[in-house]
């Protein structure tokens, strides 16, 4: 990994809750234009790591740098224009159209109808723009949430070198939708030189689009390597603490 192209640097990050270690000296970097998949059993620290990258939990140790600058040194608005997160979200409390929902990606700017439409179109969600967000199915809501992040990061204006974080983006999707969302993430990483970091329970998702994989166990980074080296029966067995074998599987083309 060429460190001069690293957009995100995680340096010996540690976090504890009481006596429990949630993260311990996790270090890795993600280049611009690269996709990183974070894998691990339930409770391995994937979501805690994503929360740390999203800056919504304080670190007990280590540092996180984005674009050469520690996260704490960024102003909230500057950071919001370059870093987005998609994670499980609480229901929206009030009736709201899909277009208005997407526009909340930039709450302090006047809504840009063209950019909202472009973001919805990227996620094949434009037919729903006038629908009430709450009436969409879970999978449809997820695509609208992705559109919100694309709008937030100025995808249609071609803003480069952003950081897109996704915590289990495909958890509730059917196999066709899953493939669509993975390809979308990969496309923006390559087209706009974004760093994309996503967590998943499915090694096949990592195989599908990730350049690198990070295997976590008990809050530590077990292995960080190019996906083709990181994922095999031995490493995955170590990661999940159970024998794992490769077998043929169904995949949407």
Partner 1 sequence: MLAVSVLLAIAATLSLAIGAYPIPLARVLDGTLSDSEWSVLTRLRVPRVLASCVGGVAFATAGAALQSLFRNPLAEPGLLGVPSAAGLGAATALIVLGHGTGLWLGALIGAGIVMLGMLMAMRRTASNLVGGTITLLLLGVAINAACAAGIALLTALATEGELKTLAFWMLGSFASLTWPQVIAMATATMLGALALSRESPALGALALGERSAHMVGVSVTRLRLRIALVTTAMVACVTAFCGSVAFVGLAAPHIARLMVGAAPRRVLPLSALLGALLCVLADLVARAIAAPIELPVGAITSILGVPLMVWLVTRRTSAL
- Binding residues for partner 1 (CB under 8 A): 54-56, 76-77, 79-81, 83-85, 87, 89-90, 92-97, 100-101, 104-108, 132, 135, 148, 152
198 vs 240, beta carbon nearer partner 1: 198
Classify strands 61-66 and 6-17 as parallel, antiparallel or unpaired: antiparallel
Asked if residues 214 and 38 have their Cβ atoms less than 8 Å apart, the reply is yes
Question: What's the gap between Cα 233 and its chain centre?
Answer: 25
Sheet with 61-66, edge to edge strand ranges: 20-31, 6-17, 61-66, 69-70
- What is the closest distance, in whole angstroms, from the C-beta atom of residue 228 to partner 1 in the complex? 32
107 vs 243, beta carbon nearer partner 1: 107
- Give the SS3 label for residue 59: coil
79 vs 181, beta carbon nearer partner 1: 79
Here the tokens at position 66 are 């984005």
- What is the closest distance, in whole angstroms, from the C-beta atom of residue 89 to partner 1 in the complex? 5
153 vs 239, beta carbon nearer partner 1: 153
Distance between CA atoms of residues 141 and 135, nearest Å: 9
Indicate if the alpha-carbon torsion angle 131, 127, 143, 66 is positive or negative: negative
107 vs 158, beta carbon nearer partner 1: 107
């Amino acid at each position: 990994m060429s460190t001069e192209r690293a957009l995100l640097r995680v340096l010996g990050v540690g976090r504890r809750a009481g006596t429990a270690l949630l993260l311990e000296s996790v270090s890795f970097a993600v280049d611009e234009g690269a996709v990183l998949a974070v894998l691990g059993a339930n409770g391995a620290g994937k979501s805690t790591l994503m929360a740390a990258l999203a800056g919504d939990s304080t670190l007990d140790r280590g540092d996180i740098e984005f674009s050469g600058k520690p996260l704490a040194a960024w102003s909230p608005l500057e950071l919001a224009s370059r870093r987005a997160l998609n994670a499980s979200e609480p229901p929206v409390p009030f009736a709201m159209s899909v277009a208005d929902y997407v526009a909340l990606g930039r709450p302090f700017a006047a809504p840009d109808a063209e950019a909202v439409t472009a973001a919805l179109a990227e996620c094949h969600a434009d037919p729903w723009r006038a629908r009430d967000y709450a009436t969409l199915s879970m999978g449809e809501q997820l695509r609208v949430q992705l559109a919100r992040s694309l709008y937030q990061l100025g995808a249609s204006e071609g803003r480069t070198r952003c950081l897109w974080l996704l915590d289990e983006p495909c958890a509730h999707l059917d196999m066709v939708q899953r493939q669509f969302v993975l390809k979308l993430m990969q496309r923006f990483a390559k087209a706009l030189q974004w760093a994309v970091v996503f967590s998943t329970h499915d090694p096949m998702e990592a195989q599908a689009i990730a350049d690198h994989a990070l295997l976590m166990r008990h809050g530590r980074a077990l292995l960080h390597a190019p996906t083709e080296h990181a994922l095999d029966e031995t490493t995955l067995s170590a990661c999940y603490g159970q024998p794992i074998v490769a077998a043929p599987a169904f995949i949407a083309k």
